[in-house]
């Protein structure tokens, strides 16, 4: 364990705020954070400079002249990507190249999540951009607006949104952070996954992909999922991206513009240095912080638990527990993928049956989260702290408690005491690396 904090109280994000809590008797806790970094002093100026000095490609103003159908794929409300900072420099370069406003479409890459609301679009992009430009949501089930761009293994057609594929110039935004499948997000993922059809998302997120040894957090090279993303992005002729790395408070610490792979490689190297953190051994219990926007529903918030368990060595030992502080006001989630997750998690056979069915029959988009969480639940318990709807939590096989302290008491009952507790306030970005490999169960 890292040295315990000298403070009596621990803090984790909760919605747009935070919760403080103390360790119950019998539990020894420590907090784990990534390497401290200094946020950009003037992110707007940094973005303006970066767009004029792109990585791996010519400046956007040299690529854009004469283009009459430009598509900018942006992240949806489930991604804490600062599109309000990243997009204006793209628009300024397009204007400098003589591209008229009416030639530009901003496509919200929702994947199989629900459509974004007007308020979410305005929060992500800023009201001035929403009022000035055409902003539309991708629909993974809209057959009329899906175009085949490539073939995957076994002839699986990779289809993307027509607005993206038929554009004369395709751009995208993204945030580079650890990702359970892609190694790191960013690069071509907003287009290749966020603008894809159900079948493409099902193929790339299925058990066959997740079970491959190269599909893992913080790994780009030799990652089959990342290879597929890059192949699809190339086939879509993604020309230029704007990506950022954020600190634990959501502030940009690095930005880059340019060719998708060059930008992702550059920022992932930096992200790896600040987001991975060593711990000497597995722990009995972890508190996995989430915060806004991922704690809106259980589909998204559960990523914090799976990130810890799909680290190179699972952070929590078998028979341990993960406490997940998250209100999840949307329950399991409102989109088609989120509802598939909910239904799959209700299998009366429990986690083993969920895993067996997914490997036997394959998955539909959204069900991959059930497969991942079923694998987590085969080894550890997941206890959601302070949920808005405990019934929604229990329905999918998680436990609940009214407070973090109460959840830790439940966890201690499962693991026995004394027990070690690792508090990871930002479990979606801080990746604990167990330095001494697996250890047998027990507390200490």
Is residue 153 a contact partner of residue 206, using CB atoms and an 8 Å limit? no
Name residues whose C-beta falls within 8 Å of residue 161's C-beta, 6 or more positions apart in sequence: 107, 138, 139, 145, 146, 147, 195, 196
pLDDT at residue 444, rounded to an integer? 29
388: phi then psi, degrees, rounded to nearest 5: -70, -30
- pLDDT for res 418: 97
Predicted pLDDT at 152: 66
In this structure, CATH architecture of domain 9-31+280-434: Alpha-Beta Complex (3.90)
Can 9-31+280-434 and 43-273 be said to share one CATH topology? no
Task: Give residue 198's pLDDT.
Answer: 84
Asked if 143 contacts 153 with a C-beta cutoff of 8 angstroms, the reply is no
Task: Indicate the SS3 state at residue 241.
Answer: strand
pLDDT (0 to 100) of residue 153:
58
* pLDDT mean for each 10 residues of the chain (444 residues): 54 96 96 93 98 98 97 90 97 98 97 89 96 95 90 75 97 94 94 91 85 89 93 96 93 97 97 93 97 93 95 94 97 92 96 95 89 97 98 98 98 97 94 70 31
Q: Where in the chain are the domains?
A: 9-31+280-434, 43-273
Cis geometry, peptide bond prior to residue 167 (ω within 30 degrees of 0): no
pLDDT in tens, 280-303: 999 999 999 999 988 999 999 999
What confidence score (pLDDT) does residue 439 get?
Answer: 40
Please provide residue 29's backbone torsions phi and psi, each rounded to the nearest 5 degrees: -115, 155
In CATH terms, is domain 43-273 a member of 1.10.1200.10? no
Alpha-carbon distance values, 20 to 47, 96, 104, 220, 403 (Å): 35, 49, 45, 36, 10
């Amino acid at each position: 364990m890292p040295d315990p904090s000298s403070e009596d109280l621990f803090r984790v994000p909760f919605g747009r705020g935070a919760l403080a809590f103390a360790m119950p008797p019998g539990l020894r806790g420590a907090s784990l954070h990534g390497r401290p970094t200094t946020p950009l002093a003037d992110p707007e100026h940094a973005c303006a400079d970066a767009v004029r000095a792109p990585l791996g490609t010519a400046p956007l103003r040299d690529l854009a002249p004469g283009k009459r159908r430009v598509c900018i794929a942006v992240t949806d409300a489930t991604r804490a990507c600062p599109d309000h900072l990243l997009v204006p420099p793209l628009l300024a370069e397009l204007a400098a190249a003589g591209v008229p406003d009416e030639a530009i479409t901003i496509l919200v890459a929702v994947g199989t999540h629900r459509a974004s609301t007007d308020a979410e679009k305005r929060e992500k992009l800023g009201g001035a951009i929403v009022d000035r430009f055409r902003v539309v949501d991708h629909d993974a089930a809209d057959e009329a607006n899906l175009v085949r761009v490539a073939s995957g293994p076994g002839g699986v057609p990779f289809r993307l949104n027509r607005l993206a594929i038929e554009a004369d110039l395709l751009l995208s935004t993204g945030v580079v952070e650890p990702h359970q499948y892609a190694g790191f997000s960013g690069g071509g993922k907003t287009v290749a996954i966020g603008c894809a059809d159900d079948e493409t998302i099902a193929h790339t997120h299925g058990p066959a992909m997740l079970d491959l040894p190269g599909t893992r957090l913080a790994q780009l090279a030799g990652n089959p999922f990342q290879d597929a993303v890059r192949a699809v992005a190339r086939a879509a002729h993604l020309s230029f991206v704007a990506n950022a790395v954020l600190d634990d408070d959501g502030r940009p610490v690095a930005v880059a513009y340019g060719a998708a792979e060059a930008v992702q490689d550059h920022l992932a190297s930096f992200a790896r240095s600040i987001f991975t953190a060593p711990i000497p051994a597995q722990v009995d219990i972890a508190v996995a912080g989430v915060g806004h926007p991922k704690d809106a529903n259980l589909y998204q918030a559960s990523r914090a638990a799976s990130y810890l368990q799909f680290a190179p060595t699972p952070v929590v030992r078998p028979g341990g527990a993960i406490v997940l502080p998250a209100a999840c006001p949307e329950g399991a989630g409102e989109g088609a993928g989120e509802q598939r997750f909910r239904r799959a998690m209700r299998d009366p056979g429990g986690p083993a049956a969920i895993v067996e069915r997914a490997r036997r029959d394959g998955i539909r988009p959204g069900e991959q989260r059930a497969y991942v969480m079923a694998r987590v639940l085969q080894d550890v318990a997941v206890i959601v702290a302070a949920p808005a709807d405990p019934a929604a939590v229990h329905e999918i096989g998680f436990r609940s408690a009214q407070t973090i302290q109460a959840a830790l008491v439940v966890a201690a009952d499962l693991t026995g005491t004394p027990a070690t507790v690792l508090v990871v306030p930002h479990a979606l970005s801080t990746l604990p690396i167990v330095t001494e490999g697996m250890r047998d169960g027990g507390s200490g």
